[in-house]
Amino acid sequence: MNSYIFYAMAFLTRANASSHLAAREVAALKHIFQHLDRNSCPTRYNFHMHSVFSDGQLQPDEILSQAIAIGLDAFAITDHHSVLGYHLAQSTLAEYRQHDPHRALPQLWTGVEINAELLGTEVHILGYGFDPRHAAMQRYLQGEKVTGNDFNARYVIDAIHAAHGLAVLAHPCRYRKAAEELIPAAAALGIDGTEAFYAYRKVLPWTPSEIQTELVGRLNAKHHLFNTCGTDTHGCDLLSRV
């Protein structure tokens, strides 16, 4: 076997292994999303929060400390157009696991919040479980929203899927166009879910808004989409929006 064939086969082996791993991870994330309900967030799961690497007030290690103290099963840091917070939190989480392998620790998923255009309206699309090194995602991870064709929701959703992730429409009742218009349009583009459990009023304790939750849940069921949840924390407490 010549060296070219050897290295080509080695590359394909690694690529196949990576693809299988990504498939298992996205299947695990889908399983979580399938079983979320209005009581899942914020004490078991939280898939929407921001660190100092976008417009949040918490350092990534502070987010992780709170996630552990709360007893979260899984969470995602969804900074705007950045995964720097995710990388730092993941590094700290790895240190925890190394020093105390028997300690119960939450699962940290990759996450990001990306601005995009849908039906002439600017919306936010959450990406979960994607490979942050994938070439398709790099233009969306530079710290600011993109322009041109890349700003179109179709391209954002396609990029997240290319990187083996899941795409979710954030807080679908916060935009200029109604959720009844946006959710079917997003579903037609292949989006995987929308954020059904969300507090549209800044209440304590954090509680999903009743009317919007019912509406979004009904639309998600009609279009076979996942219901996701998150506090959208920008302040110093993962259990609230601010």
pLDDT in tens, 99-112: 998 889 999 999 99
Report yes or no on 190 lying in a domain. yes
Report yes or no on 201 lying in a domain. yes
What is the number of domains present in the chain? 1
Report yes or no on 240 lying in a domain. no
Output the pLDDT for position 47.
Answer: 98
**Which pTM was predicted?**
0.91
pLDDT at 125 > cutoff 70: yes
**CATH code, domain carrying 212:** 3.20.20.140
Report yes or no on 165 lying in a domain. yes
User: Which residue, among 56, 113, 66, 54, has the nearest Cα to 93 in the 3D structure?
Assistant: 66
d(CA 67, CA 2): 51
d(CA 39, CA 27): 22
**Full residue range of the structural domain in which residue 83 is found:** 3-229
Q: Are strands 121-128 and 111-118 parallel, antiparallel or unpaired?
A: antiparallel
pLDDT at 8 > cutoff 50: no
Average pLDDT rounded to a whole number, residues 184-191: 98
pLDDT at 20 > cutoff 80: no
Cα diameter, the chain: 66
Report yes or no on 181 lying in a domain. yes
Report yes or no on 33 lying in a domain. yes
Q: How confident is the model at residue 16 (pLDDT cuts 50, 70, 90)?
A: very low
Report yes or no on 167 lying in a domain. yes
